[in-house]
Chains A and B, each alone.
Chain A
Amino acid sequence: DVKVTQSSRYLVKRTGEKVFLECVQDMDHENMFWYRQDPGLGLRLIYFSYDVKMKEKGDIPEGYSVSREKKERFSLILESASTNQTSMYLCASSLDSGQAAGEKLFFGSGTQLSVL
C-alpha cells in the first residue's frame, strides 16, 4: 500500500514564525501536492510538484513556498506564519498525471496547524 506520511499531526506556532510541514511518500510517485482544508470550503491546492526541484503554484500559493529536493519528500514552508493560515494541511502524491490521475491521489492523514 502507498504510504504518505506527514511528520506532525498537530502543530502550534506563533505569528511570524517560519513553519515547515514535511511530507514523505514511499511509492516513488512523480507528483506531490499540498492542500489546505477549511470548514465550509473544499480542499484547496496550494502547490504541486511533478518532479524533483519542479514546482507549480496551485490556487492559493500566497504566503507559502515549497521545496522538493528529493523525489520522496515535499515540504511546505510558511515563511512568516499568520493567523489566517490556521488550517488542516493535507499532502498527497500520485504516480502520473495522465489518464485517470485524479483517482490516484493518495493523501496523508493531515497536519492541523494552529497559528496563535
Chain B
Amino acid sequence: DQQVKQNSPSLSVQEGRISILNCDYTNSMFDYFLWYKKYPAEGPTFLISISSIKDKNEDGRFTVFLNKSAKHLSLHIVPSQPGDSAVYFCAASENNYGQNFVFGPGTRLSVLP
C-alpha cells in the first residue's frame, strides 16, 4: 500500500495560470515533506520543502501548503511557465534523513504556451 499518493498522473495548464499539484499521505508520523522536479533524461532535483511546524512555505513562484490534519500537501506554481513542464514528485519522512523519504509516483505537468 502506497504511503504517499499523487492521484493525478498528469496535469495540463495554460502558461501564466496557476498549477496545483496534490499529494496525499497515510502515515501520520510524517513530519518532513519535499518536492522534487524531474526533466526527461535528467535526475530529479530538489525544489522546495516544508516541515510540520509550518503550513506554508514559499520560494519565488513556488509555494507548498501543508494540511496535516487532512494528510495533504499541495504545490502551487504561479505563474506557470513552459519551462515548468516536468514530472513532480512529492516525498515524505518522519525525520529528515535522506534514506527515509518515501516518494510518490509523480505528476507530469505540461504547461502549454
Query: Which residues in A have some Cβ–Cβ distance to B below 8 Å?
Result: 4, 9, 31, 33, 35, 39-45, 48, 56, 58, 90, 92, 94, 97-110
Contacts and interface: CB of A to CB of B under 8 A. Distances in A.
17 contacts: A31-B98, A40-B105, A42-B2, A42-B89, A42-B103, A56-B99, A90-B44, A94-B98, A101-B96, A101-B97, A102-B91, A102-B96, A104-B46, A105-B46, A107-B44, A109-B42, A110-B41
B98 A99 contact: no
Given A33-B98, A45-B99, A97-B98, A102 B105 contact: no
B43 A102 contact: no
Contact of B106 (A42, A45, A108): A42
A82 to B, nearest CB: 22
Contacts of A35: 103
Interface of B: 2, 4, 9, 32, 34, 36, 41-46, 49, 89, 91, 93, 96-106
Interface of B is mostly: mixed
Given A42-B104, A99-B96, A110-B41, 14 more contacts: A31-B99, A42-B105, A42-B106, A43-B89, A92-B43, A97-B97, A102-B32, A102-B96, A103-B49, A105-B44, A108-B43, A109-B41, A109-B43, A110-B43
Interface of A is mostly: mixed
B6 to A, nearest CB: 8
Which of A56, A58, A103, A106 has the largest number of chain B CB atoms within 10 A?
A: A103
A42 B46 contact: no
A95 B101 CA distance: 16
Contacts of B101: 102, 105
A103 B46 contact: yes
B103 A43 contact: yes
B99 A48 contact: yes
Contact of A102 (B9, B45, B93): B93
A83 to B, nearest CB: 21
Which of B9, B43, B103 has the largest number of chain A CB atoms within 10 A?
A: B43
